[in-house]
Structure 1
Amino acid sequence: MAEDYLSRDNQMRSDALSSRVSLLKSLAIDIEGETKDQNVFLDETEKEMVAAGNYLQRGRKRVGQILAAGKRDRRTLLYVAVGVALFLYTTYALLRRVAAHAGAPTDPVTTPPLFSTGRH
């Protein structure tokens, strides 16, 4: 009788221990799977961060090249600006002459506005 009682008690404790071991094994498997997923995620994030860093570095180099080219090409930029100013002045002078020969008033005070504001 005492042996039966001890045997049942041992069996119950053995079953309880077995269920706890199974639970721990299941948790360990879940943790392993989650760890692998997190490692994959971190690797992908690292690759994206490296790519973004490279992209920013290339952009910084391009900006530096543009600024350096701007220092070298200041004379060219001056020539372009003077050329555009001369073109605009010449166009203005030609249009003024054409308007004068057509009989249109050239004085800004007597020239009617192109667009009416609606006020009289």
Structure 2
Amino acid sequence: MLEAENNRLSDNLATKVSTLKSLALDIETETNDQNRYLDGMDGEFDSTQGLLGGSVRRFDQMLKSGKHNRKLMCYLILTLLFLFIVFYFLIGHVTRG
């Protein structure tokens, strides 16, 4: 009777260990997938940082280069500001009505 109880408990323990092993393997697989995803994002952020850095350098050069470019930059900023205000009112109008 004790041996049968021990065998039943041993089988129960083996089942639980198997379940834990399966969970550990699933966690490892998910962790590896997430690490690959994060590594890909790291590369994307690096390329974006390079792109933004280049844009800032070009913008800085344009500001330093002369009066004509400053006038052009002023027009560009005013145009962007105007477009922002127009879109702000259009979006406000669409969401209200």
Equivalent pairs, count = 70
Bigger relative contact order, structure 1 or 2, given CA contacts below 8 A and separation 6+? Answer: 2
Determine the C-alpha separation between the residues in 1 that align with 2:66 and 2:29.
56
Is 2:60 the partner of 1:58?
no
Instruction: Give the Å deviation of 1:54.
Output: 1.0
Partner of 1:19: 15
1:38 to 34, 37, 46: 34
Q: Which amino acid aligns with 2:22?
A: S
Q: Which ranges in structure 1 are unaligned for 5 or more consecutive residues?
A: 78-120
How far off its partner does 1:62 sit?
Answer: 0.3
Relative to the length of structure 2, the TM-score reads 0.67
Report the TM-score when normalising by structure 1: 0.55
CA distance in 1, matches of 2:66, 2:52: 21
CA distance in 2, matches of 1:51, 1:24: 41
Structure 2 unaligned spans of 5+: 72-97
**Whole-angstrom CA distance in 1 between matches of 2:22 and 2:37:** 23
Aligned-residue sequence identity (percent) comes to: 41
Cα deviation, residue 47, structure 1: 0.9
Letter in 1 for 2:45: M
Matched residue, 2:86? none
Q: For 1:70 and 1:48, how far apart are their aligned partners in 2?
A: 34
CA distance in 2, matches of 1:67, 1:29: 57
* Cα-Cα RMSD: 1.7
In structure 2, what residue type is equivalent to 1:47?
G
